[in-house]
Structure formats: C-alpha cells, structure tokens
Amino acid sequence: MRPSGCVNDDQKTTLKSVFATGLLVLVPLAITLWVIGLVIGTMDQTLLLLPESWQPERVFGFHLPGLGAVLTLAFIFVVGLLTQNFVGQKLVEWWNVIVRHIPVVGPLYTSVKQVSDTLLSSSGNAFRKALLIRYPHSGSYTIGFLTGIPGGDVVNHLTEEHVSVYVPTTPNPTSGFFLMVPKSEVIELDMSVDAALKYIVSMGVVAPSMPQVQAAPRRPVDPPL
C-alpha cells in the first residue's frame, strides 16, 4: 500500500507539465527583459561622455534610468535628419575624406563604412533573401542569406556564375561561414529573413508556416545588381 504522503506518477507528470508551462512563459520574457536591459544599460554609458557639470545626476540630483538610451536615439535621429539635405551630405563627404587620410584609422573606417552601408542601406540587397543551399555536402541542405556576388580576381577563377552566401551557425547567428555557391544550385525560399533567422536560432524547432498558395517551381536566385 502506497503511503499517503507519496506523490503518484500521474501527479508527478502533472507537476512536470505545470513547471514546463511556467518555463515556456517566463523564459522568453526573462530573456527579452535581459536583452532590453543590456541594450539600455549600454546606451546609458554614453552619458559618461558628457562633462561632469552636465551629468544628469548632477543636474537633476538623482539617476534617471534609460535617459542615455533616449538621448542616444534622439542624437541618431537628429544626425540622420541633418544629413538628408545637401549641406549635411557635403559635411559627411568632407568628414569621410579627412578620416580616410588618417593613418591606421582611415583603412579601418573605410572597411567598417562599406560593411555598414551594405547592411543598413535601404537600397541594398544584402540579407534581403533567404536561400536554400546544399551544405556541408550534397546530401544535406541548410539555410543561408544572399549577401552579393563575388568580385575582384575571384571571378576570374570561377567556372560559372556564383552568388555570395552567408550561412549562420546555430544558435548564434552572428558567427557563420561565407560561401560562394554556383547560382544554378541556389534556391530562393518563399520565407522572410526574420522567419529564417527564427528557424535557425531555434535549431529547427520553430518552423515557418507553409505559404498560403503553392508556388511555381523555383528558379535559381537572381544576384543583386
């Protein structure tokens, strides 16, 4: 006979189910709040660039959490607003010329600017398309993102037209592999970049929904102009 104080198997299963449900609710919320707090805390550090007499704690007499984030976003918005007119664009060009002529700093600044222009420009094509490619061997597939087309002397050594593809790792998509894949072997997916990233980060658990209408047989992806 089972002692009255013991928990039977059904009760254990129920407790595990309730606990797992609680984790499913709280873990995404906790991670989201942690990331937001990390970002806001990092942006608040920009207040340290202000003179001592301008520090918010000195002016208001107390600490204002998130003030650095608000001021940083406002500063970015104002800079973007000012550089959209003719005078602002000329000032940016003048600044770029000066920085490019600074030893060590110039090449680094130029490289970072080229990457940021490619990734953040609204007219760019980098990371605008999710692709399906064969990797790491012909019997398996993975998801990658179109980043452009090969250039320079590399093109002279390729036997056919290729596209540049970034293949992120799981669950950390900020690291990955840069591949040059034959255009004929690349399939463009009917899937948004956000959905593809979720699919990758979740290690295939969060699968994107099927398209509403069955699409025609896919053609190889067209590289960006």
Q: Which residues have CB under 8 Å from 37's CB, separation 6+? A: none
| Structural contact between residues 165 and 144, judged by C-beta atoms closer than 8 angstroms | yes
pLDDT the model gives residue 220: 54
Note the Cα 26 to chain centre separation in Å.
24
What are φ and ψ of residue 180, in 5° steps? -110, 110
The Cα–Cα gap between 223 and 179 comes to: 14
Cα 167–Cα 172–Cα 174 angle in degrees, nearest 5: 60
Query: Could you give the angle at which helices 9-44 and 67-82 cross, rounded to 10 degrees?
Result: 60
Tell me whether residue 111 is exposed, middle or buried, using C-beta atoms within 10 angstroms of its C-beta: 0 to 12, 13 to 18, 19 or more.
Answer: exposed
pLDDT the model gives residue 185: 92
- DSSP E strand stretches across the chain: 130-134, 141-148, 162-168, 176-182, 187-188
Q: Which residues have CB under 8 Å from 114's CB, separation 6+? A: none
pLDDT the model gives residue 212: 65
Tens digits of pLDDT across the chain (225 residues): 455 556 677 777 888 888 888 888 898 899 889 988 888 888 888 888 888 888 878 778 777 788 888 888 898 899 888 888 888 888 888 988 898 889 888 888 888 887 777 666 655 567 788 999 999 888 899 999 998 889 889 989 998 999 999 999 888 888 899 999 999 999 999 988 889 988 998 888 888 887 765 555 555 566 554
pLDDT the model gives residue 145: 93
The Cα–Cα gap between 142 and 130 comes to: 10
